[in-house]
Amino acid sequence: MQITYDIPNFSQGYYQDRRPVRKCARPWAMLQSGGSKKAVILYHGYAGYPGELIRPGIDLYAKGWDVWCPRLPGHGTSGRDFSKTGKDDWLGTAFAAYEYLKERYEEVAVVGHSMGGAVATIVAGRYSTERLVLLAPALLIPSIPVEQVRRWRHFIRRRKVAWQADPAYQFHYEGDPDDDAYLGRQYWSYVYLRQVWQLELLRREAVGAVEALVADTLAISGAKDPVIGEAASLLVTSKPLGTNLHRSIKGGGHYLPYDKDRAAQDEAMEAVVAWLEER
């Protein structure tokens, strides 16, 4: 595996983070030494970071793909940075990264996890991509109290919630020992009301893009996912265009690319590779 963190700043023209990017959150690329005509772009989730998607990157790189994972603004730096970003920053960066790859490769496949799945859906619709993989896509999020968030986002910046690190999760990225604890304090210990509303707006846009999606689409859900149920995946795979498949991973939770059930993680990642390799 040849990984580089020296990639373009795709967020030019959008919010520029004030705090340094944590080591685990650096945008990255895995590039074939002899070059490749095909690339995959991976989009991470809400309050997530590029390091979460190292595992699918490793597996796809092993099959000859160049793999790119941009960092969306506000992610992996600080809660204050996060609170200043929104849908336009995230999508603008995602579009810029895709366009950069489209100019350099014959084919660019798209993969997204959670909110990154919603981003990937919008990207695939905008650019008529041929192949798309969605992991626990955030197209339906029953846990969002939409009306409360809509009403209170102007008055409350963030609300404290309980968060505790789970050592059962084993990460694949190159990071610092305190990355998880730091990001937990900055991001996962709070609900950022304005950003949740931005997520809701992004989700709605993604749902609106589904009907016209031409991409052959694999949507993978975790049977034990407490955040996003299989209905979100079925919403996409019931679209009228393209070849579409839903896979439910029996032991899988929400964080499929690094699921603490290693068998579920392996099954999900094997499905991702097979879908992109066989089409």
pLDDT in tens, 219-257: 999 999 999 999 999 999 999 999 999 999 999 999 999
pLDDT band at 126 (very low <50, low <70, confident <90, very high): very high
- pLDDT mean over 144-151: 90
pLDDT at 1 over 70: no
- CA angle (214, 106, 6) in 5-degree steps: 110
Which structural domains are found in the chain, ordered by start? 3-278 (3.40.50.1820)
User: Measuring CA to CA, which residue among 169, 222, 172 is closest to residue 59?
Assistant: 172
Kindly state the helix (H) or strand (E) to which residue 235 belongs, with its residue range: helix 230-237
Task: With cut-offs at 50, 70 and 90, classify the pLDDT of residue 278.
Answer: confident
From the centroid of its chain, how far is CA 17?
Answer: 19
What pLDDT, on a 0 to 100 scale, did the predictor assign at position 179? 93
Residue 193 CA to chain centroid, in angstroms?
20
- Cα(277)–Cα(271) distance, rounded to whole angstroms? 10
pLDDT for 2 equals 86
The structure tokens listed for 11 are 């967020």
At residue 220, φ and ψ (nearest 5 deg) are -115, 130
Which tens digits make up the pLDDT trace of 78-117? Answer: 999 999 999 999 999 999 999 999 999 999 999 999 999 9
Enumerate the β-bridge partners of residue 246.
219
**pLDDT tens digits, residue range 33-47?**
999 999 999 999 999
**What is the distance between the alpha carbons of residues 136 and 230, in angstroms, rounded to a whole number?**
8
**pLDDT at residue number 173:** 87
The mean pLDDT value for 6-27 works out to: 97
